[in-house]
Amino acid sequence: MLIALLPGDGIGPEVIAQARRVLDVVVGDRLTYEEGLVGGAAYKAVGHPLPEATMEIARRADALLFGAVGDPDCDALERRLRPEQAILGLRAGLSLFANLRPAKLFPELADASALRPEVASAIDLVIVRETNGDVYFGEKGIRTNAAGRREGYDIMCYDEDEVSRIARVGFETARARRGKLCSVDKANVLETSQLWRDVVIEVSADYPDVQLSHMYVDNAAMQLVRNPGQFDVIVTGNLFGDILSDQASMCAGSIGMLPSATLDANNKGLYEPIHGSAPDIAGQGKANPLATILSAAMMLRYSLGLPAEADRIEAAVAKALAGGVRSPDLGGTHTTAQLGDAVLAAL
């Protein structure tokens, strides 16, 4: 099976290196890798953040393992050349619309959560985030308005098929878990959200066994901190899901702990930590690689049909944490490589 390995920028290559060590031990030569340039690294090498050569590997691969993109050197570039366009281009170009972001507290990390331990310990949820639509992909630009002033705009737009297909992923995910789906929107203000809510309710007719609720996004942000244990599966749009998942990560201990899968209709997927390239700590051995290692486990489970191997990796991460290894984001002083060492030792 072929993996497109896309390390990217900043801490991306550092965390991918540790995931690769783990995969080599757990699945060995059952996987082959082709590395592609993405993000600022690709822009600097060939003038584009998502070169056709990388897309070609990505199309051929059975799954994609992605680090992170984002480079302060590229901040002044026009939008289509910015490193972040690489991840958006992969999601759009490969129809990767269903972004699953599980947030669960490893019991050993109760002290690292931003919440009180008894509140934090209840967090065990999945955010199902749509990643092919919303303000990310609507018409956008900067224009001069009637008053002669510059005006930026990003149209928020979802069509009903986009909503129903992500709603189905939400219902299926809930059905396979504790049977509760919370759809998060802003239907008190946004027409897009009103349609979202109507379509989710229509789709719910096919899932009478799943308990559906609706919540406004501002309340959801508050409830995630007040009582995260109330959520099983959250289904939401691209922008709300982006924000809520970073927030959920701190409830579960650290942004460096949350993995993700972004799937197409056939479970081909891109696997990446939810965090970015973290330029503030890049190159210092401070990055927590566990989100990326856990993303590799999700890849084995969802795209490669190796659930036992995925379980093995997740158990090894838990064992490494139980052994006391902690990167700075978790309140410790261990390096990126030492976290990798601890997971390998646990394996």
Ligand X SMILES: CC(C)[C@H](C(=O)O)[C@@H](O)C(=O)O
Beta bridge partners of 181: 212, 233
Whole-number minimum distance, CB 26 to ligand X, in Å?
Answer: 25
For residues 59 and 62, give the distance between their C-alpha atoms in angstroms, rounded to a whole number. Answer: 8
Give the Cα separation of 223 and 244 in Å (integer). 11
Q: Does 274 bind ligand X (CB under 6 A)?
A: yes
- In the three-class reduction of DSSP (H, G, I as helix; E, B as strand; rest coil), residue 249 is classed as helix
Which entry of ligand NAD, Mg ion, ligand X, none binds 88, CB below 5 to 8 A by partner kind? ligand X
Query: Would you call 111 a catalytic residue per the annotation?
Result: no
Task: Point out the catalytic residue in the list 9, 71, 185, 186.
Answer: 186
Percent of residues in the chain assigned helix, strand, coil, to nearest 5? 45, 20, 35
Does 173 interact with ligand NAD (rule: CB under 6 A)? no
91 is in an annotated binding site: yes
Counting contacts by CB under 6 A, is residue 5 touching ligand NAD?
A: no
Least spacing, CB of residue 90 vs ligand NAD, in Å: 10
Q: For ligand NAD, which residue of 192, 238, 262, 277 counts as binding (CB under 6 A)? A: 277
Between helix 85-93 and helix 52-60 the angle, nearest 10°, is 40
Selecting among 9, 43, 104, 136, the annotated active-site residue is 136
Helices (H), the chain: 12-26, 39-46, 52-60, 85-93, 117-120, 160-175, 191-204, 217-226, 238-251, 290-302, 307-322, 336-346
For every residue of 39-58, DSSP letters joined together read HHHHHHHHS-SS-HHHHHHH
CA distance 191 to 144: 25
> According to the binding rule CB under 5 A, does residue 185 interact with Mg ion?
no
* Choice between 98 and 119, CB closer to ligand X: 98
Smaller CB distance to Mg ion: residue 101 or 312?
A: 101
Query: Phi and psi at residue 142, in whole multiples of 5°?
Result: -125, 125
Site string for ligand NAD, 307-336 (x = CB under 6 A): ----------------------x-------
For the segment 215-244, give every residue that binds ligand X (CB under 6 A): 242
Give the residue carrying structure tokens 């008053």. Answer: 147
Is 277 annotated to bind ligand?
A: yes
Residue 129 marked as a ligand binder = yes
Report the site for Mg ion in 229-258 (rule: CB under 5 A): 242
How many beta carbons lie within 10 A of that of residue 143, not counting itself? 9
Site residues for ligand NAD per CB under 6 A: 11, 15, 68-70, 84, 87, 255-256, 272, 275-281, 287-288, 291, 329
Would you list which residues are annotated within the binding site for Mg(2+)? 218, 242, 246
Query: Per the annotation, where are the binding residues for NAD(+)?
Result: 276-288
Binding site residues, Mg ion, CB under 5 A: 242
- Residues assigned a catalytic role: 136, 186, 218, 242, 246
